[in-house]
């Protein structure tokens, strides 16, 4: 593939046997061994499409004190004819307990995580003036060009990416950093959730075009595009209490989902930097934060009160005050059995599972299940019969949740004798592609089913005394899955919308799921290559997923990530930045 000596996916596949080799060499070790250090790497050929790999254990000799060094592997990769492609003299392996990616000690909710923000570790003293080659794409609203001496030769401003490419054609040197500010503000007079969804989709579409153009220009291969947002992420908890975040910029949140996926596909090409919604940051602070992020390998940063913060998934109990948070959440006893729960995507496999679970475990007696097919959807009559046999009253309706009037009508049509008390948004669809092939039309379809529909549900129910408002989101928006830029963007918007509801004093939980084992409308079409991109997440069984739903509702956090992490899978695809807090030895 263009831009790679050996494609990462091919190298990843070539190294899979190392786990077996490590196991045979370390039967008495604690835990598996994972790659730690590469020594003597030589690339002999490029563009190999099929390779053979040979792994040979290396046993170091004792030193003069009798100490034995770390074991490793010699790696030899050849093409189909036996010609060398890649050799590694020594790939050092170190033990990593799978428990480091699972439960620690104490009473945690195994499989549930929250997104915390911590001060960026290391590299306390950074001077951005030492970093050469800064350009600004678009308006210099951050005033970087006014920063004296930045980059040695100052900052060059270009109206857009096309102007930068034209400058390269004229002989200008490629920059080290290209900074662009994407406001995603929309019309202040149209501040409703639906308008914010429209603004968010427009911003994501523009960002997608920028990302594709950036990646298409080979002369920018060593440059980083720094995408700056304001208020796109919400920081609270022990490290954000004094940041005064205020209201999250819901429309800008989707940009982070999109760029997280782009980062997963193209490491070292993008930096995300979020500034405070209401407080200006000095140009020097912005530049220093960017340089520090690059040198610390932290591609996602939020700058608050001059402090760079970085995201980490933390086990629910580790976020501080978990017991207090849990006591404020929702349990089955807290949901009125005489009320009605509305489930979008309710006739799908996942929606049907949740509906039956609510009746059996939460003792819900009245359900409205909506989907595109409604009562004509496959399995809908059988689902209705099962729910009726369990003693629940159920209405199944064909509703286009991307239509504001249709959503408002179904909410208004709920029997006043059994008022709406809960909403679960389980509808959604996938239209995956790598970011270089993703189109705005694909993003729009995915966005409508997840993000726009969520905005309609919020608007239609904002004045109702709901006890439950649960949005089924995706870990893709938090972690950033390769090949799912549009889906990640839509789900990041949903996460922010729920945070906005909580700021308004309304109930809300965005539950970002990992991979479910049971095929659904969203995953049934996925082939082996699609599922490979999701390595690092073990599929959730139906029982496991429903148990995590119950546990997540007991916490008061607006965003919970429900995923079973697979240590070997994570090691195979590389460690996403937000997972670093879950692995011993790396913050």
Please write the tens of the pLDDT for every residue from 533-566: 455 678 889 999 999 999 999 998 999 999 987 6
pLDDT given for residue 250 in this prediction: 94
Question: Token pair for residue 51?
Answer: 């390779």
Mean pLDDT of the chain: 82
Q: Select the more confidently predicted residue: 237 or 76.
A: 76
Instruction: Taking residues 226-244, report their average pLDDT.
Output: 71
Tens digits of per-residue pLDDT, 89-148?
Answer: 888 776 654 444 444 444 446 899 999 999 988 655 555 555 568 999 999 998 888 887
Query: What would the DSSP string read from start to end of 163-208?
Result: HHHHHHHTTPPPPSEEEEE------TT--SHHHHHHHHHHHHHHHH
270-279, 319-328, 570-579: which is most confident: 270-279
**What gap in Å lies between CA 282 and CA 445, rounded to an integer?**
39
Q: In the numeric block, which tokens belong to residue 41?
A: 């790497």
pLDDT of residue 82: 78
380-410 residue pLDDT tens? 999 999 999 999 999 999 999 999 999 999 9
Q: How far apart are CA 349 and CA 231, in angstroms?
A: 36
How distant is the alpha carbon of residue 544 from its chain centre? Answer: 21
Looking at CATH, the fold of the domain delimited by 115-314 is given as Rossmann fold (3.40.50)
Asked if the domains 8-96 and 115-314 are classified in one and the same CATH topology, the answer is no
Determine the pLDDT at residue 501: 95
Mean pLDDT across 461-476 = 95
60 to 18, 24, 63, 89: CA distances (angstroms): 18, 17, 9, 13
Per the CB < 8 A criterion, the answer to whether 55 and 75 are in contact is: yes
Decide which of 155 and 92 is more confident. 155
CA Rg value for the chain: 25
Highest mean pLDDT among 61-70, 123-132, 246-255, 365-374: 365-374
Q: Where is 220: in which H helix or E strand? A: none
Measured over all CA atoms, what is the biggest interatomic distance in the chain, rounded to whole angstroms?
84
Q: Is the pLDDT of residue 31 over 70?
A: no
Q: Which residue has the tokens 């996926």?
A: 261
What's the pLDDT at 539?
85
Amino acid 59: pLDDT: 64
Spell out the SS3 assignment of 37-90.
EEEEEEECCCCCCCEEEEEEEECCCCCCCCCCCCCEEEEEEEECCCCEEEEEEE
Return d(Cα 456, Cα 405) in angstroms, integer. Answer: 9
Where are the chain's structural domains? 8-96, 115-314, 316-582
pLDDT (tens digit per residue) in 508-521: 999 999 888 875 55
Q: Please give the CATH number for the structural domain made up of 8-96.
A: 3.10.129.120
- Region 364-378: mean pLDDT is 96
Query: What beta strand segments (E) does 460-555 contain?
Result: 468-474, 509-513, 537-538
Exposed/middle/buried for residue 62 (C-beta within 10 Å: 0-12, 13-18, 19+): exposed
- CATH, range 316-582: 3.40.50.720
Are 91 and 72 within 8 A, CB to CB?
yes
Instruction: Please determine, for residue 190, whether its predicted confidence score (pLDDT) is greater than 60.
Output: no
The secondary structure of residue 512, as a DSSP letter, is E
pLDDT (0 to 100) of residue 463: 96
pLDDT of residue 149: 65
Lowest mean pLDDT among 16-20, 59-63, 135-139: 59-63
Which pLDDT value is given to residue 495?
97
Three-state SS at 308: strand
Total-model pTM: 0.79
Q: What distances in angstroms separate CA 369 from CA 57, 130, 348, 383, 462, one per listed residue?
A: 57, 59, 10, 10, 20
What's the pLDDT at 110?
Answer: 82
171's CB contacts (< 8 A; 6+ apart) are none
Identify the top-confidence range among 304-308, 509-513, 524-528. Answer: 509-513
**Residue 240, pLDDT above cutoff 60:** no
pLDDT at position 244 is 45
User: Mapping DSSP to helix (H, G, I), strand (E, B) and coil, where does residue 117 land?
Assistant: strand
């Amino acid at each position: 593939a263009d831009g790679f000596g050996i494609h990462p996916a091919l190298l990843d596949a070539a190294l899979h046997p190392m786990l077996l080799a490590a196991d045979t060499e370390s039967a008495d070790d604690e835990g598996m061994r994972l790659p730690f250090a590469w020594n003597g790497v030589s690339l002999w050929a490029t563009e190999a499409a099929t390779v053979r790999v040979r792994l040979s254990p290396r046993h170091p000799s004792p030193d003069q004190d009798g100490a034995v060094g770390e074991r490793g592997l010699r790696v030899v990769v050849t093409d189909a004819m036996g010609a060398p492609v890649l050799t590694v003299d020594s790939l050092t392996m170190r033990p990593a307990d799978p428990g480091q990616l699972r439960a620690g000690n104490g009473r945690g909710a195994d499989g549930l995580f929250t997104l915390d923000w911590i001060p960026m570790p290391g590299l306390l003293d950074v001077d951005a003036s030492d970093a050469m080659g800064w350009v600004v794409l678009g308006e210099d609203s951050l005033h970087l060009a006014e920063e004296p001496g930045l980059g040695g030769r100052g900052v060059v401003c270009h109206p857009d990416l096309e102007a930068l490419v034209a400058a390269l054609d004229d002989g200008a040197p490629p920059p080290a950093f290209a900074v662009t500010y994407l406001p995603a503000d929309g019309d202040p007079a149209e501040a409703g959730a639906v308008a914010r969804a429209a603004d968010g989709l427009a911003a994501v579409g523009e960002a997608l075009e920028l990302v594709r153009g950036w990646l298409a220009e080979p002369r920018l291969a060593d440059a980083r595009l720094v995408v700056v947002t304001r208020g796109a992420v919400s920081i609270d908890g022990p490290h954000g209490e004094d940041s005064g975040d205020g209201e999250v910029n819901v429309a800008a949140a989707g940009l982070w989902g999109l760029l997280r996926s782009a980062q997963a596909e193209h490491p070292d090409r993008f930096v995300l930097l979020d500034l405070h919604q209401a407080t200006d940051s000095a140009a020097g602070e912005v530049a220093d934060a960017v340089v520090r992020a690059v040198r610390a390998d932290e591609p996602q940063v939020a700058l608050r009160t001059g402090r760079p913060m970085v995201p980490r998934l933390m086990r629910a109990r580790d976020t501080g005050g978990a017991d207090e948070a849990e006591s404020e959440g929702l349990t089955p006893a807290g949901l009125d059995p005489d009320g009605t729960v509305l489930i979008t995507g309710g006739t799908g496999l996942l929606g049907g599972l949740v509906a039956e679970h609510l009746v059996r475990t939460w003792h819900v007696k009245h359900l409205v299940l909506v989907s595109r097919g409604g009562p004509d959807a496959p399995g809908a009559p059988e689902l209705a019969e099962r729910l009726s046999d369990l003693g629940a009253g159920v209405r199944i309706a064909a509703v286009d949740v991307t239509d504001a009037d249709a959503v408002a009508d179904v909410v208004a049509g709920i029997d006043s004798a059994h008022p709406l008390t809960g909403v679960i948004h389980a509808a959604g669809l996938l239209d995956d592609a790598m970011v270089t092939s993703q189109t705005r039309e694909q993003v729009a379809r995915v966005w409508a089913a997840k993000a726009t529909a969520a905005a309609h549900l919020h608007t239609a129910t904002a004045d109702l005394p709901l006890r439950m408002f649960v949005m089924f989101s995706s870990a893709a928006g938090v972690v950033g899955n390769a090949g799912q830029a549009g889906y990640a963007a839509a789900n990041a918007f949903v996460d922010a919308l729920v945070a906005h509801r909580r700021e308004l004093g309304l109930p809300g939980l965005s539950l970002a799921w990992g991979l479910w084992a049971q095929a659904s409308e969203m995953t049934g079409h996925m082939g082996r290559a699609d599922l490979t991109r999701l390595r690092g997440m073990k599929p959730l069984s139906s029982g496991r997923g429903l148990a995590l739903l119950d546990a997540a509702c007991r916490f008061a956090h607006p965003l919970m990530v429900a995923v079973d992490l697979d240590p070997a899978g994570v090691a195979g695809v590389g460690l996403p930045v937000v997972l670093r807090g879950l692995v011993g030895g790396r913050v």
